[in-house]
C-alpha cells in the first residue's frame, strides 16, 4: 500500500489531462456565489444513499451517519483531518481481514462527513454544472460519493507501518483554511498531504487534497471536462460506475 499512497486520490479509468493547478481558494469563492444563485444546497443528496458500492452493502446506516455528522459539526479543520487519517490507518490495519466491504463500511461515514461532496461535484464540473438538470446533479453527487469511498476502500488495503502527522493549519481567506500533513511510511519515505477546507453550516469540510504537489481537484476537473465535452454526462456516469465495480472486483 505505501508505495501507492501518494496516488490514491488520482485513480481513474480515464486518461489524465491535468493542466496547471487552479487557484482553489478563488474557485471556492466563485463556486459559492454560483451555489447561492443556483440553489445548490450544502448537503446535496442523502448522504446515506450510497447504494452502488459494487458490493451487497446498501450503504451506511442512518444512525451511524447521523452520529458522524454530529461529531463532525463541531470539529475544527485540524481535528477533522486527524480524524480522517486515524480512520485511514484503521482501514489499512484491517486490511484483507476486514475485506473490501468492511473497509467501505468503516470509511463511508467518515469520508462523507469530512468532504464537501456536493461542493466538490460542482467544482469538478465547472461550467458544465449549470447545464445539468437537478436530477442529473443529484445523480452525479451520489455517484461521486460512491466512487470516492470505493477508491479509499480499495487502495487503503494493507499496513506496513507508517503514520500521519499534521504539521500546520492556516487561514487562506475567511472561511477557507489549509491543513498540511505528512505521511511517513514504514520505510521512512515521506509524502506531503495538503488539504483545503471551507467552513459550511455543518462545520468544516475538505474541498481539495494536494498530494506531493498534485491536486486531486485539478485532475478531476480536467478528466471530467474532457469526458463531458467528448461523450457527455451519461458517459461520465458510466465510467465512474465502471471504476466502482473494478474497485470491488479486484478486492473480491
Q: What is the pLDDT of residues 165-174, one digit of tens each?
A: 999 999 989 9
In this prediction, residue 251 carries a pLDDT of 66
In this prediction, residue 3 carries a pLDDT of 43
Q: Binning pLDDT at 50, 70 and 90, where does residue 102 land?
A: very high
- 217 vs 44 pLDDT, higher one: 217
Residue 86 pLDDT exceeds 50: yes
In this prediction, residue 137 carries a pLDDT of 98
Dump pLDDT digits (tens) for 42-55.
Answer: 434 443 344 444 44
Beta strand 203-211 with 162-173: parallel, antiparallel or unpaired? unpaired
In this prediction, residue 252 carries a pLDDT of 61
Residue 161 pLDDT exceeds 70: yes
Mark 33-42 as b/e (b = at least 16 C-beta within 10 Å): eebeeeebee
- The fourth-level CATH superfamily of domain 2-10+24-31+57-246 is Tgt2/MlaC (3.10.450.710)
Q: Do the beta carbons of residue 83 and residue 114 sit within 8 Å?
A: yes
Nearest to 22 by CA among 248, 214, 225, 224: 214
Q: Binning pLDDT at 50, 70 and 90, where does residue 74 land?
A: low
Mean pLDDT of 184-204: 95
Q: Do the beta carbons of residue 206 and residue 196 sit within 8 Å?
A: yes
Would you kindly state where each structural domain of the chain is located, as residue ranges? 2-10+24-31+57-246
In this prediction, residue 73 carries a pLDDT of 55
Question: To the nearest whole percent, how much of the chain has pLDDT over 70?
Answer: 70
Determine the Cα angle at 245 with ends 161 and 221, to 5°. Answer: 80
Amino acid at each position: 500500500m505505501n508505495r501507492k499512497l501518494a496516488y490514491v486520490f488520482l485513480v481513474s479509468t480515464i486518461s489524465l489531462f491535468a493542466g496547471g493547478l487552479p487557484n482553489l481558494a478563488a474557485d471556492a469563492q466563485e463556486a459559492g456565489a454560483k451555489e447561492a444563485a443556483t440553489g445548490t444546497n450544502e448537503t446535496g443528496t442523502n448522504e446515506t444513499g450510497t447504494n452502488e458500492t459494487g458490493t451487497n452493502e446498501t450503504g451506511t446506516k442512518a444512525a451511524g451517519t447521523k452520529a458522524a455528522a454530529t461529531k463532525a459539526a463541531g470539529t475544527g479543520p485540524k481535528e477533522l483531518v486527524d480524524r480522517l487519517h486515524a480512520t485511514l490507518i484503521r482501514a489499512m490495519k484491517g486490511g484483507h481481514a476486514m475485506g473490501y466491504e468492511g473497509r467501505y463500511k468503516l470509511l463511508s461515514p467518515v469520508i462523507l462527513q469530512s468532504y464537501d461532496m456536493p461542493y466538490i461535484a460542482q467544482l469538478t464540473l465547472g461550467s458544465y454544472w449549470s447545464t445539468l438538470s437537478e436530477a442529473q446533479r443529484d445523480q452525479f453527487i451520489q455517484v461521486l460519493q460512491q466512487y470516492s469511498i470505493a477508491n479509499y476502500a480499495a487502495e487503503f488495503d494493507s499496513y506496513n507501518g507508517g503514520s500521519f502527522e499534521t504539521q500546520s493549519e492556516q487561514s487562506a481567506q475567511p472561511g477557507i483554511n489549509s491543513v498540511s500533513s505528512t505521511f511517513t511510511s514504514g520505510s521512512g519515505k515521506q509524502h506531503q498531504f495538503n488539504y483545503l477546507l471551507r467552513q459550511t453550516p455543518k462545520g468544516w469540510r475538505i474541498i481539495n487534497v494536494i498530494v506531493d504537489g498534485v491536486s486531486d481537484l485539478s485532475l478531476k476537473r480536467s478528466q471530467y471536462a474532457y469526458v463531458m465535452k467528448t461523450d457527455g454526462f451519461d458517459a461520465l456516469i458510466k465510467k465512474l460506475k465502471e471504476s466502482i465495480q473494478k474497485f470491488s472486483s479486484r478486492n473480491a
